[in-house]
Amino acid sequence: MDTAQAIEALFQESRRFPPPPDFAVQANAQPGIYEEAERDLEGFWASWARNLEWSKPFTKVLEWKEPFARWFYDGELNVSVNCLDRHVRAGKGEKIAYYYEGEPGDRWSITYKELLDDVCRFANGLRKLGIKRGDRVAIYMGMIPELPVAMLACTRIGAAHSVIFGGFSPDSIIDRVNDAQCVAVITGDFGRRRGSTVALKQNVDTALAQTPSVKYCIVAKRVGDPVMMKPGRDHWWSDVIAGQPTTCEPESMNAEDLLYLLYTSGTTAKPKGIKHTTGGYLTYAAMTHKLVFDLKEDRDIYWCAADIGWVTGHTYIVYGPLANCATSVIYEGTPDYPDKDRLWEIVERYKVTILYTAPTAIRTFMKWGTQYPKRHDLSSLRLLGTVGEPINPEAWMWYRENIGGGRTPVVDTWWQTETGGIMISPLPGISTLKPGSAIRPLPGIGADVVNDQGESVPLGGGGYAVLTRPWPGMLRGIWGDDKRYVETYWSRFPHLYFAGDGCRRDADGDYWFMGRIDDVMNVSGHRISTAEVESAFVGNPRVAEAAVCGKLDDITGQAIYAFVTLKSGENGSEALANELRDFVAEKLGRFTRPKYVTFTPELPKTRSGKIMRRLLRDVAEGRALGDTTTLADSAVVKDLEERAKTEIAQEDA
């Protein structure tokens, strides 16, 4: 049996979960929505755009000069008005916008009126400093309420923001600030993480020595320990807002004006500044948030447990939820501080109804054990979601059974920084769910799976995920580099957006993502997805988590190298390694049998919880390690290097 046959067999064996009848009858997405979108695509998108408040209504929906799109391009609006003012005017000013949970246990709530007042005061302060429409402003902060306030204040005055994840190094700040020529940086004195502090202002000071475009640095006080303040350049947040009124005239922005830049990695060392504009992005954020999460404004408590430094936080912590007048949770810290039940404690405290998190986090929860969620009442949850990477069926089932009580739909969402919002996902209330499958493109979205020649593959086959037509939330290019935009996304296949992910469709046409195509191994001529092998590993009851990469091999081209974390109470041994090799081979075919298995108590992860596969490839090949500055714990990879040396020596002997 080859890989394709093995995976198809797994597809057929997958359990199916139709929508619960009581959920389906009240769902925001109802049967016929896909057909409605296809009958009149521009009319469909226009109807969602008209849910927003426009200072100048649009009359044009789409201009498509491949690969450059303009959506609602003769209309004008302001994002902060749509996220705040219109809700307050509608009598919802006292509704909670955010429940805030600080890592040390400090907590408070913020109403829509309070958030609007804060945004206006800060926006006025930015204007007083001289920051104006068209400027770019970098934001480098921890997960504190001032972060969304800063973003929304920028949108109010027409300045584009560039949020930089608070775990990045000064070098990363330098690259991003200089590329965008930012005029200001907004930061905090310190951040909080696992009971210690992160020197945010110190990192910014180091970066600002090499960022000549920056005129101002604004510092929010979170911890209160002393920091260096440079006269004339540096200003305390409290001083910027002092005496400022709670009204601020918003800029009326063209729908295609730049809203924000968000930098993402690419095949070169230089990060790509992904451009998202105003009208189309906000339309898409609001639409996908309402449909995919089945948001009920009057009763849901929604929590996207991500960091605003990534696109998930932009779209599904800030812009989508606020545009939909949702009540959300923001949490500053990590899931395991002060104990491994912190997330479940938060769910219970605020009666969270919708939870959106990453498969990596779910597998970590599996590793920790069910005793932690069992400490808490999670019965308020009615919908679960996953984001960031393909989820293996075992983790999907664990999530549904142990967090969702065996009753909640689980929406496995596929999208990218570049797409602006969710592209392929189940719609709760309509979709029959399959553990591990993102199901199908959302209404209005065109997608396909193609082979090396760009030809659509038959159902049951696999290849490359592509998008076949423009959508409102799409990136409008790469900042300052249209050529790179075309080459990266539109040159691989004519007239198709190349997502860079491997994907299969089963006999029903449902999508199963296999990870980045650079995470596809070639073993004796067989193309094997790392995600496939990882999923097989985690299907073994003794395995908590696994990460796989290819290692150069003189005979097979590449050999499979697996880094495996066992569940609590299990111990690694050569006998267990062989048992796991056989287990994978039985699941996927004998050619998928890993040559190398290294047991490790932890995998190298970023501070946001993503496995750093690049470092695993360095370890497997015995290369000098690349940049480790974004690791949550750099000691993990050093330990892994020593373990790998022993494993390679034994197997190659």
What pLDDT score was predicted for residue 632? 66
pLDDT tens per residue across span 72-125:
999 999 999 999 999 999 999 999 999 999 999 999 999 999 999 999 999 999
| Cα dihedral value 251, 254, 255, 257, nearest 10 | -90
Report DSSP letters for 166-225, one per residue. TT--HHHHHHHHHHHT-SEEEEES-EEETTEEE-HHHHHHHHHTT-TT--EEEEE-SS--
What pLDDT score was predicted for residue 12? 44
Q: Which amino acid is at 381?
A: L
CA-to-CA distance for 419 and 604, rounded, in angstroms?
Answer: 27
Q: Answer whether residue 8 shows pLDDT above 50.
A: no
Q: Which residue has the tokens 């809700």?
A: 87
Residues 6+ positions from 92 with CB-CB distance below 8 Å: 112, 325
Q: Give me the mean pLDDT over the 364-383 stretch.
A: 96
pLDDT tens per residue across span 169-179:
888 899 999 99
CA-to-CA distance for 424 and 442, rounded, in angstroms?
Answer: 6
The H-or-E segment that residue 571 falls in is none
Q: Answer whether residue 449 shows pLDDT above 60.
A: yes
The H-or-E segment that residue 351 falls in is none
The number of residues making up the chain comes to: 653
Q: Answer whether residue 281 shows pLDDT above 50.
A: yes
Confidence of residue 591 (pLDDT cuts 50, 70, 90): confident
Task: Work out the burial of residue 504: count CB atoms within 10 Å of its CB; fewer than 13 is exposed, 13-18 middle, 19 or more buried.
Answer: buried
Q: Which amino acid is at 446?
A: G
Q: Give me the mean pLDDT over the 518-538 stretch.
A: 79
Residues 6+ positions from 139 with CB-CB distance below 8 Å: 147, 150, 151, 154, 161, 162, 163, 164, 185, 186, 187
CA-to-CA distance for 276 and 155, rounded, in angstroms?
Answer: 12
What does the buried/exposed string (b/e) look like for 29-41 if buried means 16 or more CB atoms within 10 Å of the residue's CB?
Answer: beeebbeebeeeb
Q: Give me the mean pLDDT over the 640-646 stretch.
A: 88
Residue 13, both tokens: 């064996």
Percent of the chain whose predicted confidence (pLDDT) is above 70: 95
DSSP state of 240: H
The CATH code belonging to domain 524-652 is 3.30.300.30
Confidence of residue 2 (pLDDT cuts 50, 70, 90): very low
Residues 6+ positions from 108 with CB-CB distance below 8 Å: 100
CA-to-CA distance for 190 and 417, rounded, in angstroms?
Answer: 27
Pairwise pLDDT comparison (298 vs 525), residue with the higher score? 298
Q: Answer whether residue 216 shows pLDDT above 90.
A: yes
CA 288 to chain centre: 14
What pLDDT score was predicted for residue 388? 85
What pLDDT score was predicted for residue 103? 96
Which residue in 472, 513, 548 sits closest to 71, CA to CA? 472
Q: Answer whether residue 13 shows pLDDT above 50.
A: no
Q: Give me the mean pLDDT over the 427-441 stretch.
A: 96
Confidence of residue 9 (pLDDT cuts 50, 70, 90): very low
CA-to-CA distance for 574 and 572, rounded, in angstroms?
Answer: 7
Report DSSP letters for 102-117, one per residue. -TTS-EEEEEHHHHHH
Distances (CA, A) of 83 to 98, 238, 316, 323: 13, 24, 13, 4
Neighbours of 53 (CB within 10 A): 14
CA-to-CA distance for 412 and 391, rounded, in angstroms?
Answer: 7
Distances (CA, A) of 292 to 44, 196, 382: 16, 36, 13
What pLDDT score was predicted for residue 208? 97
CA-to-CA distance for 584 and 79, rounded, in angstroms?
Answer: 49
What pLDDT score was predicted for residue 557? 78
Q: Which residues pair with 303 in a beta bridge?
A: 355
Check if the beta carbon of residue 188 is closer than 8 Å to that of residue 220.
yes
What pLDDT score was predicted for residue 364? 87
Apex 162 CA angle, 480 and 213, nearest 5: 70
What pLDDT score was predicted for residue 607? 65
Q: Give me the mean pLDDT over the 496-515 stretch.
A: 93
Task: Work out the burial of residue 376: count CB atoms within 10 Å of its CB; fewer than 13 is exposed, 13-18 middle, 19 or more buried.
Answer: middle
> Mean pLDDT lowest for which of 446-460, 467-481, 513-527?
513-527
Confidence of residue 635 (pLDDT cuts 50, 70, 90): confident
Structural domain boundaries of the chain? 524-652
Confidence of residue 414 (pLDDT cuts 50, 70, 90): very high
Check if the beta carbon of residue 458 is closer than 8 Å to that of residue 486.
no
Q: Give me the mean pLDDT over the 504-511 stretch.
A: 95
Q: What average pLDDT does the structure give for the chain?
A: 92
What pLDDT score was predicted for residue 117? 98
pLDDT tens per residue across span 462-489:
999 999 999 999 999 999 999 999 999 9
CA-to-CA distance for 309 and 606, rounded, in angstroms?
Answer: 13
How big is the chain by its Cα radius of gyration, in Å? Answer: 24
What pLDDT score was predicted for residue 5? 46
DSSP state of 374: G
pLDDT tens per residue across span 26-72:
999 999 999 999 999 999 999 999 999 999 999 999 999 999 999 99
Report DSSP letters for 8-22, one per residue. HHHHHHS--BPPPHH
The H-or-E segment that residue 450 falls in is strand 447-450
Distance, first Cα to last Cα, the chain:
30
> Mean pLDDT lowest for which of 197-201, 586-590, 641-645?
586-590
Residues 6+ positions from 65 with CB-CB distance below 8 Å: none
